[in-house]
Chain A
Amino acid sequence: MNWLIPFTDLSRETVKTLGGKAMMLARLQQEGFMVPAGYCLPVSVYHDFLVETGLDAFIAMELQRKDFREMRWEELWDVSLRIRNHFLSRAWPKAMKEKLIEDLNEVPANWSAVAVRSTAPGEDSASQSFAGLHESRVMLQGTEAILEAIRIVWASLWSDGALLYRHELGLDPGKSGMAVIIQEMVVGDVSGILFTRAPQDGSVMMAEAVWGLNQALVDGSIEPDRWQFNRATGAVTEKHEVVHTVALRPTTHGTELSPLGEGQRGQSPFDPVLCRELFQAGCQLEASLGQALDIEWTYSSKSLHILQARPITTSLQTEEGDERPWYLSLHRSLDNLEALRTELEQQVLPGMDHDAEKMSAVELSHLSNRKLAGEYLHRRLILDKWLSVYKEKCIPMAHGLRLFGEFYNELLKPEDPHEFINLLHSDDLLAVQRNRQLREMAELLRKDPRLLQQIKDGIEFPDGSRLKVMLEAFNRQYSGINWVLHQELDLTSWLVKLAEQDSDDKNEGLKQADREQAFFDQVPETERGMADRILAVAKASYLLRDNDNLYLGKVRAGVSAAEQEIRKRIDSGTSAGLDKLLPEAKDSKKTFSRYEAQQEDEERAETWQIARQLVGQPAGPGLNSGPARVLDNASVLTDFKAGEVLVCDAIEPNMTFLAPLAAAIIERRGGMLVHGAIIAREYGIPCVTGIPEATKVIKSGDQLTVDGYLGIVTIDRGEG
């Protein structure tokens, strides 16, 4: 029996075996609508693949590592990335592959290309609609490409978006499954979406259209024209038009954005005939199915084709404060990210810098109380503005890393799903430059055993010696980190520690240029242009992820400076009119939290429940031991000593200087791409992230062993 079920035979099957999308398309086809012909590969084949490859156990393990309620979005993406990589790197079971290849012979030879789409049970049920959580692949040619796409679509059952909505989707590793649609590719001249009732105003019908294929509209890389129609007459009631310059077009190896020709550039994809057809199709579809629909369509050779349709009447209702839709909006197309990068580099960061410079030019101590109050409030407004820009522009830029990660893994199928990060190392990262200088100094010390012994004996570096000069230059260069200057001994002892370690360049690995070359050597000729662009965006994303925080930090520093000036005046009794500006100044918040922490410590000492081993995410490979230094708040930073294990909420960019001195890093915040993880990998320091209870159950001084390969932290409190 052929596994592929033609659309014409789907009525015998159920939503549970084929998913809502396939059933809907089959129904539309049977009711006479133009639907590209296709087949459905039922959920059972997905389950067979899981069992035969042992993937079911892997997925269960990934999903049970940690309570999802405690996971940040970054961690969800990591889980999803790892599961996706399991799917991609797993060879097809031989018998399954042979059977599928044989069954795919059914696909008519005259189809120029096919699209492979998801159709998951529960995905588009009558009660819920989850557009965009699962992947599709278009313009596929040849059996191998289809087989590859099937695995990608299966893997997208566990996309980060799907994991976010796992409760609503009923995602259960034992029960969930994914069917796949294999459909004739219809290359449209114009494509778009039709809402038979507009999401914002159910009294009108609304359509969006772009030139070329639909994927560019769906993934947000091309902005569409948006027209509204009167639901009774079809008359156009409102037009939102944009200037069209590009379209997504098929190529020999997939799709690409290409400039519009003369006849289309600047023209709306809508014309009166298309509008009429859309309106009529919308009315007919709604009447046939008895509910309002969200329809993807394409217009080819003067015919309207329905690519998919899903109910919208009860589409997902989001509650106030639910940030999941915002998170989903972070998935950006390459073009979108390239534009964002330009904006960040040319406008946003210089803007932050400009405002911070203006703040630092103001001599706060010269201002009257009234003017200081005004200046402070003004600065708060500026900070609020940049915080909102940060959320709107800077955070989405981080998606560049993800885009590259997915591209890299799909192409190279590496054992380690985070291998791609090795290509993003940047010499422009301040932390990297600092680390290199430390290593150079340690290397010099290593080569001079006599000097090394002297330093260990407590004798200072000789005046004028090369190392002394380097050390002084090091301190000068990073003078912003003034507490390090107060602890020069720590830096020296860290140098001694570095010097006594074997000269270990393993973490350096290949030189950056060699790594890149090795990557491009494996990219097929046709994909190199795309690879080049994605890598450039990812590198920018990696760098901006640190730099944007540093710029924002400068603006924050301006606000803090004004706060400090106000506090100073409050303390000296000259604060008339300023007292109410800083309510927290009177609360002495820090003292309170320290008191609380102390109390907690005492309670903990008496408790019978002792954490012995904690599991988080392996974010930086390596194994090391050392006493814990728990950073409850900034004021204890100065207690940190070289060789201690740093335990904190999150390593903020302005704290990354701590990393070279740490034996290991443990972060409550999870994710492979959080700052702590990036810095730890740069330094080759074991790092475990995503242990929410870390700062509570670990006490400063606890002897820790940090296994950065497996994400395990062992706490040794002796036998007591």
Chain B
Amino acid sequence: MTDEDEWCLVLKLLKEQAFGVLGTNHKGHAYASLVAFAATADVRFIYFATTRATRKYLNLAADDQVALLVDNRADQALALYEAAAVTAYGTATEVAAAEHAEVLQSYLARHPQLKTFVSSPTTAIFRIEVESYHLVQRFQNVTEFRMNR
């Protein structure tokens, strides 16, 4: 598999999967949450939404460093070799109200059923500026893609 193929796999995962596991940090304790995400076409940014009363929102307010795992596993033993997973590392910031309309358009194109959820004034939209992607495939093959290079 060439580098290009592997990068295509990253793009494919981000395009085809709807959900990812977001890792946040609270005073040294890791916290993981399932989120519905949408990546920009150039995959430099990933958006997700959360209500402001959640633990992950509080964690993000205290520490903006996050990881997001996106994978295509099936729940079977064989899946370990067949599945691919990509983890995005980056910094999450809340999207300002002025930018909402633009962001929502692309986010809702991916998750139209979440319209009521993301339109609520109590929901915050976050943007992860991705610093790197780590792709894991065939159990232990890991490739890193640095977005600032």
Contact = CB atoms under 8 A, between A and B. Distances in A.
A57 B112 contact: yes
Nearest to B109: A54
A54 B109 CA distance: 10
Contacts of B54: 613, 714
Contacts of B117: 710
B60 to A, nearest CB: 15
Interface in B53-91: 53-55
B132 interface: no
A80 interface: no
A707 B113 contact: no
Contact of B120 (A54, A60, A709): A709
Given A710-B51, A712-B53, A714-B53, A58 B113 contact: yes
Contacts of A710: 51, 116-117, 120, 122-123
Interface string A602-623: 0000000000110000000001
A510 interface: no
A707 B52 CA distance: 9
A61 interface: yes
Contact of B112 (A54, A707, A714): A54
Contacts of B123: 709-710
Which label, helix, strand, loop or mixed, suits the secondary structure of the A interface? mixed
B28 interface: no
Nearest to A686: B122
B52 to A, nearest CB: 8
Contact of B121 (A61, A709, A712): A709
| Interface-central residue, B54, B112, B120, B121, by most chain A CB under 10 Å | B120
A705 B57 CA distance: 14
Nearest to A716: B53
A60 B53 CA distance: 25
A709 B53 contact: no
Contacts of A709: 120-123
Interface in B83-139: 112-113, 116-117, 120-123
B51 A712 contact: yes
Nearest to A61: B113
Interface string A48-66: 0000001001101100000
Nearest to B108: A54
Contacts of A61: 113
A435 B103 CA distance: 39
B113 A54 contact: yes
| Interface-central residue, A57, A58, A61, A709, by most chain B CB under 10 Å | A709
Contacts of B120: 707, 709-710
> Which interface class (under 10, 10 to 19, 20 to 34, 35 or more) fits A?
10 to 19
Contacts of B116: 710
Contacts of A714: 51, 53-54
A623 B51 CA distance: 11
A504 to B, nearest CB: 14
B71 to A, nearest CB: 21
Contacts of A707: 51, 53, 120, 122
A171 B120 CA distance: 30
Which label, helix, strand, loop or mixed, suits the secondary structure of the B interface? mixed
Nearest to B18: A57
A554 B123 CA distance: 44
A705 B116 CA distance: 19
A714 B53 CA distance: 7
A705 B121 contact: no
Contacts of A712: 51, 53, 122
B88 to A, nearest CB: 24
Interface in A10-65: 54, 57-58, 60-61
A35 to B, nearest CB: 40
Contacts of A705: 53
Interface string B14-30: 00000000000000000
Contacts of B113: 54, 57-58, 60-61
Contacts of A612: 55
Given A613-B54, A712-B53, A714-B54, A623 B112 contact: no
A349 to B, nearest CB: 38
A36 B123 CA distance: 53
Contacts of B122: 623, 707, 709-710, 712
Contacts of A613: 53-54
Nearest to A416: B116
A613 B46 CA distance: 26
A612 B123 CA distance: 18
B119 to A, nearest CB: 8
Contacts of B51: 707, 710, 712, 714
Nearest to A704: B53
A57 B51 CA distance: 21
A61 B53 CA distance: 21
A61 B117 CA distance: 11
B5 to A, nearest CB: 31
Interface in A470-520: none
A54 B112 CA distance: 7
A710 B122 CA distance: 8
Contacts of B53: 613, 705, 707, 712, 714
Interface in A698-716: 705, 707, 709-710, 712, 714
Nearest to A86: B113
B41 to A, nearest CB: 20
A57 B114 CA distance: 9
A707 B51 CA distance: 9
A58 B115 CA distance: 10
| Interface-central residue, B55, B116, B122, by most chain A CB under 10 Å | B122
A709 B112 CA distance: 18
A613 B122 CA distance: 15
A99 to B, nearest CB: 22
A710 B117 CA distance: 7
Contacts of B112: 54, 57-58
B31 to A, nearest CB: 12
A712 B53 CA distance: 9
A54 B18 CA distance: 14
A707 B117 CA distance: 11
A341 to B, nearest CB: 34
A82 to B, nearest CB: 9
Nearest to A705: B53
A195 to B, nearest CB: 44
A613 B112 CA distance: 24
Interface string A576-591: 0000000000000000
7 contacts: A54-B113, A57-B112, A613-B53, A707-B122, A709-B122, A710-B51, A710-B117
Top-10 shortest CB links A-B: A57-B113, A709-B120, A714-B53, A54-B112, A705-B53, A707-B122, A623-B122, A58-B113, A710-B120, A709-B122
Given A707-B53, A714-B53, 18 more contacts: A57-B113, A58-B112, A58-B113, A61-B113, A612-B55, A613-B53, A613-B54, A707-B51, A707-B122, A709-B121, A709-B122, A709-B123, A710-B117, A710-B123, A712-B51, A712-B53, A714-B51, A714-B54
